[in-house]
Structure 1
């Protein structure tokens, strides 16, 4: 269920996604289609694009949606043709007066872009188009040459005939195939989103690629030279697989779009399964969409901020809260009164003193490995402290979302982790402790965490959305009403829950 062409059109949100109508395994890929008025409650429609033409007979793979002048939506997607080449195709709504755009037509002049002189098995996922000051439309297509990943750039005056630029917009050595590239402007001022064709002195750009080698998404912040059609990352983060990520957990093949209704940029991401194939087949589905997020550039201009869209708060029900609760060494406090299998939790921790923080080893560059080495059971000076979500009554099972604070020369180093081997009693599951570092100054000793819990999904937002870490969990005991929520501290330094709010979350409904 990889999202492929999200868009906002005439008051309706559309989500197109990769889908196998015949099972939970990869294959028979179509563009499924659902619509919503709030991105929370959805109405599934008939599949929008199905393999049936010579240019997509063997699959309709990922792509994007663009709103053309005159308020006309168009879809670009990768088709697998009769020769099993990856080619780029176009589709239009059959009836613009249909508010849900249920039917789509593919003109016979497809494919509009073919892999001339390009590896035809590594040529996919066209981006949302943007229009330059010269009147030409531009798109990116993911590609690789040898081990070098790249975002090929194509230009068109009429959105029908496309010409490849000699050089890619950007590329990366030893990065492998760049899947699902995304390229969009962000404002240097405030949280407002920008249309993909926006430009000016108030704008920076984000280039994101999904690396097939690692199955993670990476991005850089940089500048775009339209005259040269060249993107140059700022020298503020690594331009490789050690760089910035939207999410340092189970999150891949993401896509953004501009929400003109609320003037914001929305990020969709996909989480894969790590369950047994037999369980996936029994359920009849595999892979889920994460909660959509608003994204904007942090005021320092060095990274993106992310936060669940405000509409998710409409699902909040009963609230419970804690205030000024000290968490001493090896202390666990149950948060009672909340339906812990489906909850929204916001907590602010206060660290009274940093003097007991352990020294940070500069060789600890891999946060996920560090979380695995120092999981929630390994006592530290400051931390681990945080939440034990999807916990069984006696804590045989739990998915831990937590922080550790280390001492460094210039400022503290904050590690954030999510997941871990105790998330399920089932053996032979992939149960990593995902992790990322948080660029937090710990002003006045405060550190915040918001956690969305939804049965098998735990999304953690650290420091107001500076770092996000998500995981999947498959508990055997902590299921439904038998799931519990705890706050904990396994560090020698007492940490205080300054404020904790938790809400029961209702189930989304089908849109009326």
Structure 2
């Protein structure tokens, strides 16, 4: 069943948002549906012709089905966008369900939450959308803690001290000295989420896993890893981003503790660098990649 359909214009140039009434040669349109069967948000990009009885033509190369583009590759559903005329931007807002049991939800008085709002715009290639947390989120930042030039050895953990672990806005850049040891990528690995379960944060790879252990207890009995793995593909390196809540709680039953993952569209061969922004809070975290 399709839910929470959305249809909105995006500019072919720049990151400025457009009012819902915009159309023309310098505008593309996005059609999004929330699919109840998978609980994911699928979208495509195309052209809208209001003069031709509201005809919408999907752009060339976009996949119609479960392998199509998604707004988010984590715990995110039932989203809607709106145009913010005060800052000429389009904002995306979606829902995230909680991991507690129904009994826990009744006791605390709430279940689920709205995820961090994001600004959304068209990638210069025209092949996908880009997103970033709205700038107002930065007003919530407190004390700044900075670590520089840290060498991370295999199996090593570096604790970031001086922050509140249950609420943090983390920007981190990883420099990869060598990609020669990256594992070969099996073309049959088409499902990123399954691959994340197979190649978890504790599984040693050629390049990875590396990333963050968020919401970690002192002795690491509980933690939620957010991590990358790099593989050698046929034409370029393949980058997998995972968030795995399997170790997030010592409670064994009644909790929703899935793993989420996606393949990141990036070419590491030029910079050998990959960056991650993670908004950590006591509910599900939000992760954004940039290069």
TM-score, normalised relative to structure 1 = 0.55
Listed one character per residue, the Cα deviations across residues 313-348 of structure 1 (whole Å, up to 9, x for unaligned) are 001110101111111111110011111100000001
Q: Structure 1: how far apart are the matches of 2:182 and 2:211?
A: 16
Gap regions ≥5 residues in structure 2: none
* SS, match of residue 401 in structure 1: strand
Are 2:161 and 1:336 aligned? yes
Q: Which of 194, 198, 208 is the aligned partner of 1:373? A: 198
Q: Which of 278, 281, 291 is the aligned partner of 1:451? A: 278
2:100 is aligned to: 275
Q: Structure 2: how far apart are the matches of 1:424 and 1:234?
A: 43
1:72 is aligned to: none
Segments ≥4 residues shifted beyond 3 Å: none
Q: Structure 2: how far apart are the matches of 1:232 and 1:347?
A: 40
2:261 is aligned to: 435
* SS, match of residue 194 in structure 1: coil
Are 2:218 and 1:393 aligned? yes
Q: Structure 2: how far apart are the matches of 1:351 and 1:210?
A: 37
Q: Which of 214, 219, 227 is the aligned partner of 2:38? A: 214
Q: Structure 1: how far apart are the matches of 2:245 and 2:266?
A: 23
Structure 1 segment 353-364 matched on structure 2, within 5 A: 353-364=178-189
1:404 is aligned to: 229
1:184 is aligned to: 8
1:350 is aligned to: 175
Structure 1 segment 121-160 matched on structure 2, within 5 A: none
TM-superposed CA distance for 1:409, in Å, is 1.6
TM-superposed CA distance for 1:228, in Å, is 4.1
Asked which structure has the greater CA Rg, the reply is: 1
Gap regions ≥5 residues in structure 1: 1-176, 465-512
After superposition, the CA RMSD in angstroms is 1.0
* SS, match of residue 278 in structure 2: strand
Q: Structure 1: how far apart are the matches of 2:245 and 2:167?
A: 19
* SS, match of residue 319 in structure 1: coil
Structure with the largest fraction of strand: 1
Aligned residues of 2:98 and 2:284 also touching (Cα < 8 A): no
How many pairs were matched up? Answer: 288
TM-score, normalised relative to structure 2 = 0.97
Aligned residues of 1:423 and 1:431 also touching (Cα < 8 A): yes
Listed one character per residue, the Cα deviations across residues 441-464 of structure 1 (whole Å, up to 9, x for unaligned) are 123101010000111221110126
TM-superposed CA distance for 1:237, in Å, is 3.4
2:143 is aligned to: 318
Q: Structure 2: how far apart are the matches of 1:221 and 1:328?
A: 42
